[in-house]
Copies of this chain bind each other. A is one copy, B any other.
Amino acid sequence: MEMEKVLEGLVKENNSKIVMVVMDGVGDIHNPEFDNKTPLEYASTPNMDALAKESVCGRHIPVMPGITPGSGPGHLGIFGYDPLNVIIGRGVLEAVGLGVELKHNDVAARANFATLDDGGLITDRRAGRIPTEKTTELCKALSEIKEIDGVRIIIEPGKGHRFVVIFRGDNLNPAVYDTDPQHEGLAPLKAREQKKEAAYTAGIINKFLEKAGELIGDKQPANGILLRGISARPKIPGFKERYKLEAAAIASYPMYRGIADLLGMTLLPAPDSIDGLFNTYIEFHNKYDFFFIHVKGTDQAGEDGEFLTKVSVIEKVDRALPILMGKRPNVLAITGDHSSPCPMHSHSWHPVPILLNSQFCGIDNTMRFTENQCNTGGLGFFESKHLMTLLLANALRLDKYGA
């Protein structure tokens, strides 16, 4: 039987509060320039140290050992959705990442501006990597296309030559092939349905591409458009259906707000400071069962290779922790969605440290919340997709399995 089916039969409600603090990309490896320490080891974290002594720790594996997750799979995992089975289309991920609120029947596509020659063949799939400002300007021009046959068209510029197109209307179906042929020297493809229910949608997309071509046809080097990852919101049960949790997200970045929204979380105000994030929790404490609090700075610092910046973000979280503990949740997890080691300047596959505190967590011998201490913790190493089950268990929100 599948994990999801098992949980479905066991979840029950009570008045407990669960908080998951996600320091994005917090996991790291030894940094030769800093005494071979990780940022968590190097940072001064008296509050987390004290908490670790009365908690259970471990490490979770986002997808599989050795697999480096993107932000989508990373977050799906810690929210209890198997990232190997639940796939969020790239168009949808790009759209929510840009802060577009997607409705259930919307179809979203990632789009590139591209350069076409006089014969209509692609000479540059990225239009010479035009700057974001240029893309914003072009998107404004495209926004003249407000609707096609009653289907609303929403254009949102992204970074560089990228943007997204959202089609909003009745009877749309995302089973449409990419129009990007993936090679230069070819013409952009017509939108073509993968199954006949999507023929209407492919037609709408083609009409859109035609009109768009008229609008930008003379705007060298960005005189063409390529679509990829045509997709709709995944039909997955949200936190309410799946866990009987009223869930809220305190996250400032569009991508994470987007994923939280896809899973049915209410989006709460997310000020820039970490104090501010925790204060939002205090303010809304009574209104929700589950709080996802997202701290972006750790990942950014990891990707930039800025060890001391990452240390500083961790220390800020530590200093702000007493705010959160002012209304101590029944279950508190401090973790990340993946590792982003400073020496690698990127996401990585390394297991993510996790600290779990509750009245019933069991106390292990972990003295600090660090990668190597977590190696010996009472949670062991486990797949990220089990984290939500552990949180629900600690909140006494799960019945026994079998007699």
Contact = CB atoms under 8 A, between A and B. Distances in A.
Interface stretch (A62-70, A182-190, A195-203): A62-70
A10 B67 contact: yes
A60 to B, nearest CB: 9
Given A341-B360, A362-B350, A362-B371, A69 B30 contact: no
**What copy number does this chain have within its complex?**
2
Interface string A364-381: 110000011001111111
A357 interface: no
Given A347-B400, A350-B362, 11 more contacts: A6-B63, A29-B360, A36-B363, A66-B392, A68-B398, A69-B400, A70-B400, A70-B402, A375-B376, A375-B380, A380-B381
A3 B379 CA distance: 24
B381 A372 contact: no
Contacts of A87: 402
A63 to B, nearest CB: 5
B1 A84 contact: yes
A59 B376 CA distance: 12
A73 interface: yes
A30 B363 contact: yes
Dominant SS at the A interface? loop
Contact of A403 (B93, B343, B372): B93
B377 A375 contact: yes
Contacts of A372: 364-365, 378
Given A390-B349, A393-B349, A68 B378 contact: no
Contacts of A69: 400-402
26 contacts: A1-B84, A1-B85, A6-B64, A6-B67, A6-B84, A63-B401, A64-B389, A65-B379, A65-B382, A66-B388, A66-B389, A66-B391, A68-B398, A68-B401, A71-B402, A93-B403, A341-B362, A347-B400, A348-B360, A349-B390, A351-B380, A365-B375, A371-B378, A375-B376, A375-B377, A381-B382
Interface in A58-99: 59, 63-73, 83-85, 87-88, 90, 93-94
A361 interface: yes
A359 to B, nearest CB: 8
Closest 5 interchain pairs by CB? A380-B381, A66-B389, A29-B362, A70-B402, A65-B386
B6 A361 contact: no
A50 interface: no
A141 interface: no
B348 A390 contact: no
